[in-house]
Each structure stands twice: as structure tokens, then as C-alpha cells.
Amino acid sequence: MAELTYRDAVARGIAQEMARDPDVVFLGEDVAKAGGVFKTTVGLLDQFGPVRVRDTPISEQAILGAAMGAAMTGLKPIAEIMFSDFLAVCFDYIANEFPKSRYMSNGQLKCPLVVRTGNGAGSRFGAQHSQSVENWAMMIPGLKVVAPSTPRDVIGLMAAAVRDPDPVIFFEHKSLYAVKGEVPDGEIVDALGTARIVRPGRDATIVALALMVPRAVEAAERLQAEHGIDCEVIDVRSLVPLDTRTILGSVGRTHRLFTVEENPRLCGWGAEIVSIVADEAFYDLDGPPVRITTPHLPLPAADTLEDAVLPSAERIVDRVKRAM
């Protein structure tokens, strides 16, 4: 067991898979010599060499297209898109190419690749470098979508994503890169489609993702200490496949549902979870489900403004307390 930052876990996760499988290759802008603009891939070039770890031009379509062509023909590429906001300039691959080639070809073509990308707010970068866009990927049939919240999950879910035979969009949260966590020694391999109950509780279920997980846990501790409300916190981890069993099971015990989403409100993943619970567990509920989200706004840059729009532990405490 060692303590590792989420940032260092990215490099360890990639290294674990590259060491295991010579068909795993890694490409992106400034990922090799520079070790990544967020220093998430430091050491990979030295360890695996310039044939397997490759710097690219600023050409997001070429990066994702090349990853797809390599994946179709036998490699297992990991491609980095520096900021998830930039998925918009190569969205054809995310929306039209990766997820549809297998279906349109009636199973003749395959697309086993991982796109990892820096997602989320907290760095005061403004509206085009701070978004949480996991719902952009979630809405497309044929993709798998994961977003780890801990260093351990970065490694385990990275392994699961690389070993998965389908295209996986892997959202790393930029504001978690400096966070440390305990990571077991040796190989770590997780399963996609598994949520985790990070704090058991009896009174309410709070479902969160990525940076919102530690905030939900902090809120749950305060709700317990200050208001005697015992919340269960679920880290969704994987939006597709979605572990609805864990969520429905929790709501069946607590009878209350809250979602905490960093994405802007409309069509956020929490809406899908609320819809599933309303369809399938309506009579388990003792009150209306509550979505706690970033308002439907572009993100402002200034620290005070950005802090005011993201769901905070305070806001979670307040919304849960008022609803209960």
C-alpha cells in the first residue's frame, strides 16, 4: 500500500497496461517529452520509448481518427484529449465513428480504444477549459463512459477501460489531480459498470461522480454531525454501463434520492438516474428526488464566481436538509 496522487495514478495506470500488453500505445499533444500539460504522463516516454508513447500535432481529429484506425486493425490505443472541452473539435469520432462502426458493419469492425481527457472545473480557466462534459458522451449509444474519483480507481478503471473491447471515454477530473489516496501494491483491475457505496447511510441516497464524490462525502459527514441525517453516498464511477442495481438497492433502503452533478443542469446524467428511479422505484420514494447541479450556465472564470456555481458541500447540506 502506498499513497499516490490522482495525477501519478494516471501514469501508473497507463504504465501497468503498457507493460502488460505490447499492443497498448499512447498518443496525444505534449504527452511524451513534456509528460503532459497536467504532468499526468511523466516517465512513460522513458519507460516505453518513442514508438509507443507519441507526441502529436495539435490535431484532435487526427488523434482520435488515428486511434480508431489503429484500434480497428489490432492495437489498443490510449489517446489523450488535453481538455474535455476540446472533444467538441473532434466530436465526429465520439459521436459518429467510434460508437457506430461496429453496429453499421454488423459486427465486422471493432473499436477497442480509450480516450482520456481532463474534465471539470476548479482551475479558474473559464468556460472553454473547465466544463464537465461527461453527459456529451453518455448520450451516445455504443460508447462506454467512466469518471474515477480516487487514485485507486484511476488505475483500476484505466485497466478495465484498456482491456474493454469497446470505445471508452475516460474522464479525469482536473481538480482531483493533486488529491492523494491509498493505492494497493501490484496490479489493480476494476470492472466497468460498478458503482461504489463510499459511505453507507440509512436516511438518504446521494449519488455523485468524480469531484462531486468528496464533496458529497463531506456534506454527508456534516449532515450526520449537525443534523442527525445519515446519508449513503454512491460514487457512480461508470456512467455507461450504469450500475442501476446499486442505486436502486440504495434507494430501496433509504427512500430518498439526491444527485450531485457538476455538469450544467439540462440533460445531466442525474436526470437519467432520477428517471430510472421514478420508473422503477417510485413507490420506494418518500419524497421527490432532488438534483443538485451546476446551473444551466457557461462557467465563469473568476474564483469567486466559479465557486458560486459549482455544487459545494454547503449547497448539498442545505438542499438535503431542506428536502428531508
Partner 1 sequence: MARIEDRAPATATGDAPLNDDIGEELRLRMYRMQVEIREAEQRAYDLFLQNLVKGTSHLSLGQEAVATGFAAAMQPGDLSFCTYRGHAHTLARGVPIERVLGELMGRDIGLMRGKGGSMHLTSAEHGVMGSYAIIGAHLPIACGAAWRAQYKGARDVSVCFFGDGTTNIGAFHEALNFAAVWKLPVVFVCENNLYMEYTPIGDVIPVEHPAASRALAYGLEPILIDGQDADAVYRAASAAYDKARAGGGPSLIECLTYRYSGHSRADPAKYRPEGELDRWKERDPIKLYRKRLQQFGIAEAAITAIEADVKARVDDATETCKASPPPPLDIITTDVYADGGWAWRN
If residue 185 lies in a helix (H) or strand (E), which one and from where to where? none
- Among 253, 260, 321, smallest CA distance to 286 is for 253
User: Near partner 1 by CB under 8 A, which window of 3-11, 36-44, 128-136, 159-167?
Assistant: 159-167
Query: Which CB, 93 or 258, lies closer to partner 1?
Result: 93
- Among 41, 39, 47, smallest CA distance to 19 is for 47
Q: Does 51 bind partner 1 (CB under 8 A)?
A: yes
Length of the chain measured in residues: 324
Look up residue 302 and give its three cell numbers: 473568476
User: Near partner 1 by CB under 8 A, which window of 35-43, 72-80, 146-154, 214-222?
Assistant: 72-80
Q: Does 224 bind partner 1 (CB under 8 A)?
A: no
- First-to-last CA distance in the chain? 39
Query: Which CB, 183 or 192, lies closer to partner 1?
Result: 192
Lay out the site mask for partner 1 across 6-25 (x = CB under 8 A, - = otherwise).
-------------------x
Which residues, at least 6 apart from 222, have a Cβ–Cβ distance to it below 8 Å?
Answer: 313, 317
For this structure, is 227 an active site residue?
Answer: no
- Among 134, 155, 280, smallest CA distance to 210 is for 134
User: Near partner 1 by CB under 8 A, which window of 1-9, 74-82, 210-218, 226-234?
Assistant: 74-82
Cβ of residue 23: shortest distance to partner 1, in angstroms?
A: 9
Query: Which CB, 245 or 253, lies closer to partner 1?
Result: 245
Cβ of residue 227: shortest distance to partner 1, in angstroms?
A: 33
Lay out the site mask for partner 1 across 288-307 (x = CB under 8 A, - = otherwise).
--------------------
Q: CA-CA distance, 213 to 149, in Å (whole number)?
A: 7
Q: CA-CA distance, 121 to 310, in Å (whole number)?
A: 8
Are 205 and 231 spatial neighbours (Cβ–Cβ below 8 Å)? yes
Q: Does 102 bind partner 1 (CB under 8 A)?
A: yes
Cβ of residue 70: shortest distance to partner 1, in angstroms?
A: 4
Q: CA-CA distance, 190 to 206, in Å (whole number)?
A: 22
Q: Does 157 bind partner 1 (CB under 8 A)?
A: no
Which residues, at least 6 apart from 251, have a Cβ–Cβ distance to it below 8 Å?
Answer: 205, 257, 277, 281, 284, 285
What is the torsional sign of CA 248, 252, 254, 255? positive
Out of 28, 118, 120, 193, the residue judged to bind partner 1 by CB under 8 A: 193
If residue 201 lies in a helix (H) or strand (E), which one and from where to where? none
Out of 3, 21, 92, 182, the residue judged to bind partner 1 by CB under 8 A: 92
What is the torsional sign of CA 234, 237, 239, 240? negative
Q: Does 270 bind partner 1 (CB under 8 A)?
A: no
Q: CA-CA distance, 220 to 201, in Å (whole number)?
A: 9
Are 253 and 216 spatial neighbours (Cβ–Cβ below 8 Å)? no
Cβ of residue 99: shortest distance to partner 1, in angstroms?
A: 8
Out of 31, 67, 155, 316, the residue judged to bind partner 1 by CB under 8 A: 67
Q: Does 103 bind partner 1 (CB under 8 A)?
A: yes
Cα 118 from chain centre:
9
Cβ of residue 260: shortest distance to partner 1, in angstroms?
A: 20
Cβ of residue 111: shortest distance to partner 1, in angstroms?
A: 9
Q: Does 47 bind partner 1 (CB under 8 A)?
A: no
- Footprint on this chain of partner 1 (rule: CB under 8 A): 25, 51, 54, 56-57, 59, 61-75, 77, 92-93, 96-97, 101-110, 112, 141-142, 144, 164-166, 193-194, 240-245, 276
- Which active-site residues does the annotation give? 129
